Chains A and B, each alone.
Chain A
Amino acid sequence: MIVASQKPVEEIRETLKDYKKVLIAACGTCVTVCLAGGEKEAKELAALLSLSGEQEFKVVTPERQCDAEFLAEFDKDVRQADAVLSMACGAGVQFMAERCAGKPVIPALNTSFLGVNRDVGYWTEMCQGCGNCILEKTGGVCPVARCSKSHFNGPCGGSSNGKCEVDPSIDCGWQLIYDRLKSLNQLHRLYEIIPPRDWSTSRDGGPRKLRRTDVVTEEV
């Protein structure tokens, strides 16, 4: 899931200061689950920003902001607003902005990473969406996302007691890989030299597109 956190409220207020009627668009999927931009957070933000008494807020919650059909349901609300505060991830904010001709669309969140929910209110990064998965080689622990240096062939010298040199609260990704492979009895995999990889499948190759040719019947 996409994990995000809310921007500092004063920053949000500053970006909204020129608009009288603001539509707060929560997003009902990832950012709801990570307690950053769901309906509850939107209501709380609306209540907090309403304290000044100078602006009007309305909260809507599309199921997802990354599908046009869900956004279409709220076109009327968008028209009535001076600006839209999107509480979706960066993708949702942009998609909302594409739809809202002539309306400023302002982000309320900082989109952080692709991660998992480890406990109530605690998420960790697991994937960077690099487009070329090698988890089968690394015991199901991603060296790209979970090693601070994205090393492919073992930890750096800064790994000590299973912790990363960047911050002792970060587990060394390669320690995790080692532990996993050991438990799988696959330590031999560590001897393989993983060659420099092709990053063109990652964002280094430019903005990515994906087409399922069997679903797309008319070529674009």
Chain B
Amino acid sequence: MEEGKVIQKSRLQRLFEAGEFVVTGEVGPPMGADADHVYHAAEALNGVIDAANVTDNQTSILRMSSIAASLLVQQKGVEAVVQMTCRDRNRIAIQSDLLGAWALGLRNLLILSGDHQAFGNDRGAKNVYDVDSIQLIKMLTDLQNEGVFHNGKKAKGVPGFFIGTTSNPFADPAELQLIRLKKKITAGARFVQTQSIYNVEKFEAWMEKVREWGLHKEAYFQAGVLVNKSVRSIEMTQKVPGMDIPDHLVERMRKAEDPKEEGIRIALEIIQRVRKIEGVSGVHIMAVGWEEIVPVIVERAGFLPRPALD
């Protein structure tokens, strides 16, 4: 690191460090070059959440670049969390893009492997996976700590991203997932966003393991919460590999007179429960296709106003 240069910490990082219960949301870039779409989404979240994840061609569906959309989001006063997958770029492209992201003022980074292209619309695309998420986290952490690229060359200007990653508390075998999570944290991940939580008991058990391994002391954990708009939405979500939705929740949605309201209630119940779990430092609220509900959830959950920082 160059001497005398203070790296400005992100708001997200400072909130975590201040011990605040952090609330983040998501902005999905458009399937096109429309900047207004991003502006609108960001404006709606201004003052509601602490930071917004900007997804990177989520589920392999071709969209505007995460870094570009992140910049648009920040222009509207919402701090962005740049998502970066390993699927589409080799180590040269990933590092190069991230150097640019840092230079543009983006400070949070969420590293994931990325869904296989078989899920998206470009099934015939080549995948790259030159480096996997753990390798990438390690590469970046080493760069940030030592100022030297993986290839051994010294960097002119070193980024200082607040690096996060994801984890799935419901995948089997749990041990393997925990080993992987530990590796990610050892490699340098400072915050972890989990898969959407429905089965809170299982999540509690998982968090117990996390505490047992002492991982909650090394990284901030955010429970993922997905808000479902309809019966069909929860049914579809239940089918996604790696999701664990207890049948009684699906049943609740089916029986509900107002499924929308029921979806909100379920989400709020989950938020209230996970909040109490030791080691959970925040929630990450996702509302795919129902982004306008996020302010409502945040408000009804009692998270407003969001804390201010000096």
- Decide if A and B are genuine partners: yes
Interface residues of A (CB under 8 A from B): 196-200, 202, 204-206
**Nearest 5 interchain pairs by C-beta:** A198-B124, A199-B126, A204-B126, A204-B127, A200-B123
Contacts of A204 in B (CB 8 A): 117, 125-127
A186 to B125, CA, bound (A): 29
Contacts of A196 in B (CB 8 A): 124
Contacts of B123 in A (CB 8 A): 198, 200, 205
A71 to B310, CA, bound (A): 70
B33 interfacial by beta-carbon distance below 8 Å = no
Query: What are 16 A-B pairs with beta-carbon distances under 8 A?
Result: A196-B124, A197-B124, A198-B123, A198-B124, A199-B125, A199-B126, A199-B127, A200-B118, A200-B123, A200-B124, A202-B126, A204-B125, A204-B126, A204-B127, A205-B123, A206-B116
Contacts of B116 in A (CB 8 A): 206
Contacts of B126 in A (CB 8 A): 199, 202, 204
How many residue pairs link A and B with beta carbons under 8 A? The number is 21
A197 to B173, CA, bound (A): 36
Interface residue tally on B, bucketed by range: under 10
Contacts of A200 in B (CB 8 A): 117-118, 123-124
Instruction: Looking at the assembled complex, report how far the CB atom of B50 sits from the nearest CB atom of chain A, in whole angstroms.
Output: 37
Contact A206 B124 (CB under 8 A): no
A138 to B231, CA, bound (A): 53
Instruction: Looking at the assembled complex, report how far the CB atom of B124 sits from the nearest CB atom of chain A, in whole angstroms.
Output: 3
Residue of A nearest to B126 (CB): A199
Instruction: Looking at the assembled complex, report how far the CB atom of A131 sits from the nearest CB atom of chain B, in whole angstroms.
Output: 11
Query: Which residues of B in the span 121-162 have a Cβ within 8 Å of any Cβ on A?
Result: 123-127
A5 to B125, CA, bound (A): 31
A199 to B128, CA, bound (A): 11
Contacts of A206 in B (CB 8 A): 116, 118
A200 to B123, CA, bound (A): 6
A202 to B117, CA, bound (A): 13
Instruction: Looking at the assembled complex, report how far the CB atom of A153 sits from the nearest CB atom of chain B, in whole angstroms.
Output: 16
Residue of A nearest to B123 (CB): A200
Residue of B nearest to A132 (CB): B124
Residue of B nearest to A195 (CB): B124
Query: Which residues of B in the span 79-130 have a Cβ within 8 Å of any Cβ on A?
Result: 116-118, 123-127
Residue of B nearest to A196 (CB): B124
Residue of B nearest to A198 (CB): B124
A205 to B124, CA, bound (A): 8
Instruction: Looking at the assembled complex, report how far the CB atom of A185 sits from the nearest CB atom of chain B, in whole angstroms.
Output: 32
Instruction: Looking at the assembled complex, report how far the CB atom of B40 sits from the nearest CB atom of chain A, in whole angstroms.
Output: 33
Instruction: Looking at the assembled complex, report how far the CB atom of B125 sits from the nearest CB atom of chain A, in whole angstroms.
Output: 6
A196 to B278, CA, bound (A): 51
A186 to B123, CA, bound (A): 32
Instruction: Looking at the assembled complex, report how far the CB atom of B90 sits from the nearest CB atom of chain A, in whole angstroms.
Output: 13
Besides A199-B127, A202-B126, 13 more A-B contacts (Cβ < 8 Å) are A196-B124, A197-B124, A198-B123, A199-B124, A200-B118, A200-B123, A200-B124, A204-B117, A204-B125, A204-B126, A204-B127, A205-B118, A206-B118
A202 to B123, CA, bound (A): 11
Contacts of B127 in A (CB 8 A): 199, 204
A196 to B124, CA, bound (A): 9
Instruction: Looking at the assembled complex, report how far the CB atom of A166 sits from the nearest CB atom of chain B, in whole angstroms.
Output: 16
A200 to B118, CA, bound (A): 8
Instruction: Looking at the assembled complex, report how far the CB atom of A125 sits from the nearest CB atom of chain B, in whole angstroms.
Output: 18
Contacts of A197 in B (CB 8 A): 124
Residue of B nearest to A150 (CB): B126
A197 to B118, CA, bound (A): 14
